[in-house]
Structures are given as structure tokens and as C-alpha cells.
Amino acid sequence: MDLMGIILQIIISVIIISPILWLVGRSMVGGAKAKFTDAIWIVVFGIIINAILGTFVHGAIGFIVTLIVWIALIKHFFDAGWGKAILIGIIAIIVLIIIAFVLAFLGIVAIAGLGGLPGLGGLGGY
């Protein structure tokens, strides 16, 4: 367990995942139950617990335990039932995937526009 790696992962995850988790949680359980600070704590505790569990539990069992931990954190901090916590987690993952695809697409378009990818046109394209 690398402490600097965990700290860096927490910082990046708080910046990227917390706003998405907060917005999805807010839309599902309301603003009174889903505060932005709650989303930050979910991410921080989730990563720390995940890092500790990851040293002991691996493979499919580790994945299942990690999912249960994250859902339990969402349930606790957003004061939701198990069903809503699972739904918040699923929707947050879907939103995160969509954002990642959009950002990747925009990155490819930007590179192509600068001529970085041969055959796609742009300033220096072939």
C-alpha cells in the first residue's frame, strides 16, 4: 500500500467522482440528504477502505466486497435505502463512463484538428 499513491488517488477521485455522485444522489434522494461534503466523504472512505481491503481480498470476491462497501457508504451518507443506493451507484457509473467517452472523443478530435493523427485531416494531416 503506497501512501502517496492513495493520497493522489483520493485527490483526483474527489475532483472527478464527487460532483457526479453528488448530482446523482441529489436527484435521487434530494438536496437535504445528499450534500456535496457527503459525496466527498463517500469517495475518501471508499478509496481508503478499498486500498486496505485490496491488500487482503483479490479477484471476484474483492470486486464484490468493494461494490458492497461503496453501496453501503452511499446508503449511509445519502440516507437512502439499499435499492436507491444501488441505483445511485449505477447511474453515477454510467454518467462517469459517458463523460469519459465525450472527453476522449473531444481529445481525439483536438489531436486530429492539429494534424496529430494521419488520415483524419487537420492542419498537418495527410
Task: Say if residues 42 and 10 touch (Cβ distance below 8 Å).
Answer: no
Encode the chain in three state secondary structure: CCHHHHHHHHHHHHHHHHHHHHHHHHHHHCCCCCCHHHHHHHHHHHHHHHHHHHHHCCHHHHHHHHHHHHHHHHHHHCCCCHHHHHHHHHHHHHHHHHHHHHHHHHHHHHHHHCCCCCCCCCCCCC
End-to-end CA distance of the chain: 47
12-21 pLDDT, tens digit each: 999 999 999 9
61 HSE (CA, 13 A, CB side): 5
Residue 111 banded pLDDT, cuts 50, 70, 90: low
Note the pTM of the prediction, 2 decimals: 0.78
How far is residue 13's CA from residue 70's CA, in Å, rounded to a whole number? 13
22-69 pLDDT, tens digit each: 999 999 999 899 999 999 999 999 999 988 888 888 888 988 998 999
